[in-house]
Amino acid sequence: MSARNYRAWLDRISEWLIRATSIVIFLVTAGLFLQIASTALPLFEDPRIAPAHEKSAAVTPNQRLAWLPESQNDEYGVVPAAKLPLVTSDLGITSIEDGVAHGFLKAPARPGEQPGLENDAITPFSVATSLPSVSYASTVANGRYLALFNKDGFFQLGNIHESDSTTVFPVVDIPQHDAVLPTPGKRSWLLLAGHSIHQVHLQASDDGLIAAPLLTYALDSPASVVSSVGLTRHFVVFDEAGHLSLFKLGQAKSRAKRRAAASDPEIEKIEWRGPDYVELFHVDGGIERYRIDNLLNTLDVADLFMPKRYEGYSEPTNTWQPKGSADGVESKYSLQPLLWGTVSSALFALILSVPVALGAAIYVGYFMTPAYREVVKPVIELLAAFPGVVIAGLAMLWLAPRLQGFVAELIGILIMIPVTVSILAMLLGSRVRSRPGRYFSRRLPLLLIPVLCGSVYGGVWLGSLIDAHLFGGSVVDWFVANRGVSVSYFNGLLVGLALSIATFPVIFSLAEEAIFSSPSGAAAGSLALGASPWRGFVDGVLPYASPGIVAALMLGLSRAIGETMILLLLSGNMPVQTANLLEGVRSVGATLAIELPEAAVDSSHFRVLFLAALILFLLTFGINTVAQIVKRRWRRRYGVAV
């Protein structure tokens, strides 16, 4: 092959290889994005009720759902193995006389034993109550109290413990009702009031525990038959118009609707035969069966972002508290605290690290002679060698105990350094400017070392002065005592300081590269025309370097958003949304690290976690797009290749 053909062949082969490799990388990247999206997006599918034709008898273990009966409903479903622990409880009120209700409690069988009347202990009790009659009762608060319901719309708590059984709690008004349905967790109840369904929940108040209205379920036509509430926290309503509606506890609107085959008077009861399988029993003995698709692991958008009033809460909140392995508890999946925590800690870290990183990059890349730069740049880049774990460990072991007492000193340092340096610059500036070169690179830093040490010391002294005289000891304690600010051992300040150490090397390295390799013609020109070195930088170097600096900032921001270890160990993982730097935060990355390995694959918890990652992805996508547009515009303006 001649030389020319060989070169052409090499060119073609290399182009093919490069294209192929890049396409593979792009596909893998797209695959990552698709995996996140395909795991997260099924969260928003709506359930559907579809007729089912197969008999429900063979319920496989995967579909079995234990039912904890409270009233007359029995457990359903096929129990595959007697070894599975079953816990049942029952209670009854036998009589009410003279303001005292008498009844019995069937204590739960020990887990692992066979359930059955013989094994259960029956405990009688007496409870003081001012209700004339009790239509429904339930133990609450781990058996400490008894919740008593009266059909005419009254609720009263009774204290089961013998010593307190004479305490009479205030009577609370609740909607009138015909029947009470318990819900998993025994913290709220459905009151079936003829044609509407109300939910009341246990809530702490000034008078102790009361039953407060939580929400009313929106029914198109009056309800006729209502199923029990399954462990999936759903129930099915058959209304007078002949429709089946699926409701989820906590959502007032129905999630799915379907016309049933039979019409109103013919349905006797509705029973669950598995987590997503419903049977309608006709009065004449016929059975209609329905399967509900997408019942589990789907959520409303409102659940994820809007404040929601959960069971036991007195007002709507944005909370993140998945139920983990507890049964019958409502999971709280608001993404707001997580997103807020991630973004706020990233921004704070950038506020701390960007001035220092850019300043250092400008100095090393522009002012320093290249000979010195060759040495100093790798030294500063050694800061990159501190992994997130090490920074987090150091901060946890050394910084965290000292931080709360050190806040004033920190502010003092932040003030003193720029102030001292600026004063010094004003005093000695002209002298230095006339002799650049080695002065910039060697003498100036040496001169600044004692100045910096002095100003750090001075900042600490200033801070302790402020502490002692203005705040009587510690600024943080003063704010806690007098302004009611709450502080935490693990706080946003700690996280921000540690995270800024992690983002600093990224921003520094890339910005310095950008500044150093910008063409120096314009800068040389302005210097020759008599501009000061700084103006030479701003006019001559900055325009060419700014796209690179923007890239550096974007990478730094990405690093701060994606950092997991520092947030996991230092933030306290508190899902609160506050601008107070001295309180904890919770980030998406740390939440993923904690909960993702344990969430059951494709459960709603799992999907919500991926959704959080997806939202972060889209957020950074937007920021990166803006940055890219800005970069292109600047590049085009200054004539460097795009």
Partner 1 sequence: MLWLTSSMALLAVMLLLALMLLLGWLATGGGGSAGQAAEAGDQWASIFFMLQNGPAPYNDEGIFAAIVGTVTVTLLMTIIVSPLGVIVAIYLHVYARNTWYTELIRIGIHNLAGVPSIIYGVFGLGFFVYVIGAQIDQWFFSAALPRATLGTPGLLWAAVTLVLLTLPTVIVATEEGLARLPPSLREGSLALGATRFEMTFGVLVPAAMSSMVTGIVLAIARAAGEVAPLMLVGAVKYAPALPLSSDLPFIQVEQKFMHLGFLLYDLTLHAPSGDGRIALIASIALVLVFVVMSLTTFAAVLRGRFRMQYAQEALF
Partner 2 sequence: MLRRRLSLLVVQCAFLLTAPLAGAAEVLTFVGSDTMSRLITAWGEEFREQHPEIVVDIQVTGSAAAPPALAERVANFGVMSRQFGEAELVEFMGRRGFVPLGLIVARDSLEVIVNQKNPAASLSLEQLDRIFSQGRLCSGLPSLTHWYQISHGKADIDREHPISERPIAAMGRTAVSGSYGFFKNRVLCGGDFHGRVAELPGFAAIVRAVSQDSGAIGYVGSGFIDSSVKRVSIETWGDGLGAEPVRPSAVLSSPLKRDLYLYLAVAPEQTATAAECAFLQFVSSIAGQEILIQQGFAPGDLEVSGIIKNVCS
Interface positions, 381-440, toward partner 2 (CB under 8 A): 396, 400-401, 404
| From candidates 2, 379, 469, 484, binder to partner 1 by CB under 8 A | 379
User: What distance in Å separates the CA atoms of residue 126 and residue 530, rounded to the nearest whole number?
Assistant: 97
Write the interaction track for partner 1 spanning residues 308-347; mark x where CB under 8 A is met and - where it is not: ----------------------------------------
| From candidates 146, 407, 501, 608, binder to partner 1 by CB under 8 A | 501
Q: Binding to partner 1 by residue 519, rule CB under 8 A?
A: yes
Rounded to 10 degrees, what is the CA torsion of 512, 517, 518, 524? 100
Best CA proximity match to 364, nearest among 509, 502, 217: 509
Interface positions, 562-621, toward partner 2 (CB under 8 A): 568-569, 572-576, 583-584, 586, 594-595, 597-598, 600
User: What distance in Å separates the CA atoms of residue 248 and residue 574, rounded to the nearest whole number?
Assistant: 28
66 binds, among partner 2, partner 1, none (CB under 5 to 8 A by kind): partner 2
Interface positions, 448-477, toward partner 2 (CB under 8 A): 477
What burial letters (b/e) apply to 226-260, b meaning 16+ CB within 10 Å? bbbbbbbbbbbbbbbebbbbbbbbbbeebbbebeb
Q: Binding to partner 2 by residue 2, rule CB under 8 A?
A: no
User: What distance in Å separates the CA atoms of residue 480 and residue 491, rounded to the nearest whole number?
Assistant: 14
555 binds, among partner 1, partner 2, none (CB under 5 to 8 A by kind): partner 1
Cα 83 from chain centroid (whole Å): 37
Going from the C-alpha of 442 to that of each of 177, 383, 435, the distances in angstroms are 86, 22, 12
483: tokens are 């302004």
- The conformational region for residue 299 under phi > 0 = left, psi -120 to 50 = alpha, else beta, is beta
Helices (H) and strands (E) in the chain, counts: 17, 21
Which one, 11 or 46, has the nearer CB to partner 1?
11
| From candidates 216, 317, 464, 520, binder to partner 1 by CB under 8 A | 520
Contacts (Cβ under 8 Å, ≥6 apart) of 606: 39, 596, 599, 600
- The piece of 16-24, 326-334, 459-467, 533-541 that touches partner 2 (CB under 8 A) is 326-334
Instruction: List the Cα angle 75/81/85 in 5-degree steps.
Output: 65
- The piece of 74-82, 85-93, 310-318, 520-528 that touches partner 1 (CB under 8 A) is 520-528
| From candidates 565, 576, 608, 611, binder to partner 1 by CB under 8 A | 565
Number of residues that bind partner 2 (CB under 8 A): 79
329 binds, among partner 2, partner 1, none (CB under 5 to 8 A by kind): partner 2
Which one, 420 or 488, has the nearer CB to partner 2?
488
Q: Binding to partner 1 by residue 354, rule CB under 8 A?
A: no
553 binds, among partner 1, partner 2, none (CB under 5 to 8 A by kind): none
- The piece of 67-75, 98-106, 467-475, 584-592 that touches partner 1 (CB under 8 A) is 584-592
Which one, 430 or 482, has the nearer CB to partner 1?
430
Q: Binding to partner 2 by residue 170, rule CB under 8 A?
A: no
Q: Is the dihedral of CA 33, 34, 39, 45 positive or negative?
A: positive
Write the interaction track for partner 1 spanning residues 387-406; mark x where CB under 8 A is met and - where it is not: xxxx-xxx-xxx--------
Strands 179-182 and 188-193, bridge-based pairing: antiparallel
Q: Binding to partner 1 by residue 10, rule CB under 8 A?
A: yes
Write the interaction track for partner 2 spanning residues 200-219; mark x where CB under 8 A is met and - where it is not: --xxxxx-xx----------
Number of residues that bind partner 1 (CB under 8 A): 132
Q: Binding to partner 2 by residue 358, rule CB under 8 A?
A: no
Q: Binding to partner 2 by residue 487, rule CB under 8 A?
A: yes
Q: How far is the CB of 165 from partner 2 (least distance, A)?
A: 9
Q: Binding to partner 2 by residue 489, rule CB under 8 A?
A: yes
| From candidates 161, 435, 636, 637, binder to partner 2 by CB under 8 A | 161
Q: Given the structure tokens 């694959």, which residue do they identify?
A: 601
161 binds, among partner 2, partner 1, none (CB under 5 to 8 A by kind): partner 2
Contacts (Cβ under 8 Å, ≥6 apart) of 231: 65, 66, 67, 68, 184, 275, 327, 328
Q: Given the structure tokens 């540690």, which residue do they identify?
A: 498
Using an 8 Å Cβ cutoff, are 75 and 90 in contact? no
Instruction: List the Cα angle 390/394/396 in 5-degree steps.
Output: 115
| From candidates 252, 421, 480, 531, binder to partner 1 by CB under 8 A | 421
Rounded to 10 degrees, what is the CA torsion of 598, 603, 607, 608? -80
Q: Binding to partner 1 by residue 417, rule CB under 8 A?
A: yes
220: tokens are 């198109």
Which one, 285 or 597, has the nearer CB to partner 2?
597
Q: Binding to partner 2 by residue 20, rule CB under 8 A?
A: no
C-alpha atoms less than 13 angstroms from C-alpha of 157 in its C-beta half-sphere: 23
Residue 333: helix, strand or coil by DSSP?
strand
Which one, 402 or 483, has the nearer CB to partner 1?
402
Which one, 56 or 345, has the nearer CB to partner 1?
345
Residue 84: helix, strand or coil by DSSP?
coil
User: What distance in Å separates the CA atoms of residue 351 and residue 581, rounded to the nearest whole number?
Assistant: 13
Q: Binding to partner 1 by residue 608, rule CB under 8 A?
A: no
Q: How far is the CB of 527 from partner 1 (least distance, A)?
A: 7
Using an 8 Å Cβ cutoff, are 302 and 284 in contact? no
Q: Binding to partner 1 by residue 65, rule CB under 8 A?
A: no
Rounded to 10 degrees, what is the CA torsion of 472, 475, 480, 483? 90
Strands 196-205 and 188-193, bridge-based pairing: antiparallel
633 binds, among partner 2, partner 1, none (CB under 5 to 8 A by kind): none
